[in-house]
Chain A
């Protein structure tokens, strides 16, 4: 069942575990940047950054337990950001 918004409180242990995860991912992204994968490096860095961003959004920003209004409005923001990014590359790529 979906939990009611505004009533969920994260305990300190969960938050500390999220912090540990974020620190580990930071170490991984620094470590990976020392290895040359060519073009892949940027994508790996962005992938790890997205994982870290998801942790911050879901736990620190409480999105995991927010109402549907917030979750869907956030996802649509990402969707429109995606449109902006892809149209920009479409334009620049075919000039």
Chain B
């Protein structure tokens, strides 16, 4: 019984950390909302410059990866090691594809002279500068979270492989999964705010 309470304690600790993450991004969303109210037309124009296809593809990728992680937790509880590894593997590949997409998306923007401190933004309307400032800040911070999440999933994958994560002790996998889902959750709000503003 003592190991049971230990596991749920670890989970509670993870959730407490996730609450601070919610406020980290919540603060940025408030910033977005206030400036959106002030510079609505510039934000709409900025949103039209973003490639919606990248946004949609990355949303689908993250949703699939979240499913894969959730499935791997079901698998570990059912003692299906291969399925657990497969789920984590799929999620890691999805994370990598997400980052590659982001790289192409950002390089395209940089090539068009849209990046923090670029001449085009500095000389253009203030609202446009703020929109792209928030775009790089929020998607950049989100991508850092993707990288951290991938490291956690990779560590979990190795631990499953060497059987440090077992059907009775899988808090590390569960907590890595929670982190990954939170990253997905944040993207669910980032996507319409940046790519779908009309």
Contacts and interface: CB of A to CB of B under 8 A. Distances in A.
Whether chains A and B associate is yes
Interface of A: 5-6, 9-12, 15-16, 18-19, 22-23, 26, 29-30, 33-34, 36, 41-42, 45-46, 48-49, 52-53, 56-57, 59-61, 67, 69-70, 73-74, 77, 80-81, 84-85, 88-89, 92
Chain B: number of interface residues, binned into ranges: 35 or more
A26 B37 contact: no
Interface of B: 4, 7-8, 11-12, 15-16, 19, 22-23, 26-27, 30, 33-34, 36-37, 52, 56, 59-60, 63-64, 66-67, 69-71, 74, 77-78, 177-178, 181-182, 184-185, 188-189, 191-193, 196-198
Task: Describe A's contact surface by its main secondary structure.
Answer: helix
A57 B198 contact: no
A48 B74 contact: no
B27 A84 contact: yes
Contacts of B66: 19, 56, 60
